């Protein structure tokens, strides 16, 4: 009987999967390794959203325009809320463009586990890839709506409106990063909690609407009594929106310490959201 040959060759694996153990053990490098998957998800989400619609991406423009018209009539003409001498359509559109990016990031990442349970159960990839791809996809939408805002800005400037863009517009990338961090962190936190408490998915959509009215979207911070402004600044979106208006419209109440507090809260929520998301992804299949 021929002797059996035993090979001593060792197979070199391209990737070895090991369980995550600690709460703070987050594999950041894997996000970069799966960047192609992120790109595919971004393309899929952007196309799928309006693939079977008649107007397609034009909806990205119609939504803020119609909302701006309603806000102008209700809050500008009827309620007569001050807009710091800025034309009402421009004031509301600026706030809405910024708010919508954050709100979309939060709403669409808050159901990550529930909406992708079937996919997560079949193949391995870093689960954080999905909410990150959502944030990037929404950035494309933000770019389209921001271009619309610039068009309105140029129109009102040509008419001689009292708006004065200044060099502080260079802060826009920082504001986008802060909104992305806040939306991603809050969305990941809610997504992790909804694996056990499904009620949160309903509460989030309602809560985001209430949050908007506390975020200086339909009124300027200057309308708030000085002794109470610190309380509103605890909402990270308030200094972000005020800084945006101050940079592009020349009106707004924003100070460095306000942005500092807002940035600290954004990154604190981002850290808490990612850590909680990372912990829950190991056991979510037992509860979803």
Spell out the per-residue pLDDT of the chain, length 288, in tens. Answer: 444 444 444 556 666 555 555 556 677 777 788 888 888 888 888 777 766 665 667 778 888 999 999 999 999 899 989 898 899 999 999 999 999 999 999 998 888 777 777 777 677 778 888 899 999 999 988 999 999 999 999 999 999 888 888 888 999 999 999 999 999 999 999 888 887 777 677 788 888 988 999 898 999 988 888 888 888 889 999 999 999 999 999 888 888 888 999 999 999 999 999 988 888 776 654 444
Ordered by start, the domain boundaries in the chain are 55-286
Burial of 172 (0-12, 13-18, 19+ CB in 10 A): middle
Please provide the DSSP assignment of 213-256 as one string: HTTTSSS-GGGS-GGGHHHHHTSTHHHHHHHHHHHHHS-----H
Cα–Cα dist 78/244, whole Å: 26
């Amino acid at each position: 009987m021929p002797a059996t040959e035993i090979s001593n060759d060792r197979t070199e694996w391209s990737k070895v999967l090991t369980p995550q153990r600690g709460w703070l053990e987050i594999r950041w490098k894997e996000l970069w390794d799966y960047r192609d998957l992120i790109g595919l998800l971004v393309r899929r989400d952007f196309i799928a959203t309006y693939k079977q619609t008649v107007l397609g991406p034009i909806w990205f423009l119609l939504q803020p325009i119609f909302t701006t018209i309603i806000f102008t009539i209700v809050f500008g003409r009827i309620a007569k809320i001050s807009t710091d001498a800025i034309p009402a359509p421009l004031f509301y559109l600026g706030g809405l463009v910024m708010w919508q990016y954050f709100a979309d990031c939060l709403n669409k990442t808050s159901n990550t586990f529930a909406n992708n349970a079937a996919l997560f159960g079949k193949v391995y990839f870093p689960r954080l890839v999905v909410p990150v791809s959502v944030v990037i996809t929404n950035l494309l939408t933000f770019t389209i709506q921001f271009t619309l805002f610039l068009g309105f800005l140029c129109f009102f400037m040509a008419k001689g409106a009292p708006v004065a863009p200044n060099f502080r517009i260079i802060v826009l990338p920082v504001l986008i990063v802060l909104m992305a961090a806040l939306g991603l962190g809050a969305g990941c936190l809610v997504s992790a909690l909804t694996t056990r408490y499904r009620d949160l998915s309903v509460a989030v959509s309602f809560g985001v609407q209430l949050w908007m009215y506390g975020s200086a979207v339909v009124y300027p911070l200057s309308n708030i009594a000085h002794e109470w402004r610190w309380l509103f600044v605890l909402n990270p979106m308030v200094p972000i929106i005020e800084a945006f208006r101050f940079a592009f419209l020349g009106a707004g109440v924003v100070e460095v310490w306000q942005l500092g507090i807002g940035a600290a809260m954004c990154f604190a929520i981002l850290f808490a959201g990612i850590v909680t998301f990372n912990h829950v992804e190991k056991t979510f299949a037992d509860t979803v």
